[in-house]
Chains A and B, each alone.
Chain A
Amino acid sequence: NAGVTQTPKFRILKIGQSMTLQCTQDMNHNYMYWYRQDPGMGLKLIYYSVGAGITDKGEVPNGYNVSRSTTEDFPLRLELAAPSQTSVYFCASSYWDRDPLGYTFGSGTRLTVV
């Protein structure tokens, strides 16, 4: 199993450009998440999804959008990139039944906005 796959691994954007960070999981997990990680700040939740067609905002959603048309894919869209969006982005998935299980994370996308 590939687990959670994120692309690209690195990207440099100019201010005002847009891009989509891709995330795919092959574990049939129903829940998926996007986090950003800044030095010394921990992981902050951007958006999450509890299933295909269902998404909701997390702690820091401004400047981002998501969609979830299939169970496997959960892309994150950045519109009008700003320097404040320079960060490392992680996608994660989980299958939540009665017992909470740990997330499976992707390897991350390091984004620099200049």
Chain B
Amino acid sequence: EDQVTQSPEALRLQEGESSSLNCSYTVSGLRGLFWYRQDPGKGPEFLFTLYSAGEEKEKERLKATLTKKESFLHITAPKPEDSATYLCAVLRGGGTSYGKLTFGQGTILTVHP
């Protein structure tokens, strides 16, 4: 059974204080690892897909990295508008995955001015 565990559950940062969110996963033949951002009362918004160990992707103050067992979402010099819940999800390989993602429980990030 695929499993995704995110840590910490909640993270409070001061504006400009860089940090990282962790996503540990167990999946049979990873096809892709996904990061989403979710604002209160809204649906998750797609951020990144990572396909193989060693891959990195960046978007503004966010950088996602991937190893064979975990992914990190690095937040550099965060701003209050980066406050949100960040979700990690994995997609297993194979012809019967049908795009079904397994999600972690999320990390609630709060950035104080």
Contact = CB atoms under 8 A, between A and B. Distances in A.
Interface of A: 4, 31, 33, 35, 40-45, 48, 50, 56, 58, 90, 92, 94, 96, 100-108
Contacts of A106: 43
B105 interface: yes
Interface of B: 4, 9, 31-32, 34, 36, 41-47, 49, 87, 89, 91, 98-101, 103-106
B100 A100 contact: no
B34 to A, nearest CB: 6
B32 A42 contact: no
A100 B32 CA distance: 7
Contacts of A56: 98
Contact of B42 (A43, A44, A96, A108): A108
Contacts of A42: 4, 87, 103-106
Nearest to A3: B43
B43 A96 contact: no
Nearest to A96: B99
A108 B43 contact: yes
Given A90-B44, A107-B42, A58 B87 contact: no
Q: Is the interface of A mostly helix, strand, loop or mixed?
A: strand
Contacts of A43: 44, 87, 89, 101, 103
Contacts of A44: 103
Contacts of B103: 35, 42-44
15 contacts: A4-B43, A35-B103, A42-B87, A42-B106, A43-B89, A43-B101, A45-B100, A48-B98, A58-B100, A100-B99, A103-B34, A103-B99, A105-B43, A105-B45, A107-B43
B49 to A, nearest CB: 6
Q: B41, B91, B99 — which one has the most chain A CB atoms within 10 A of its CB?
A: B99
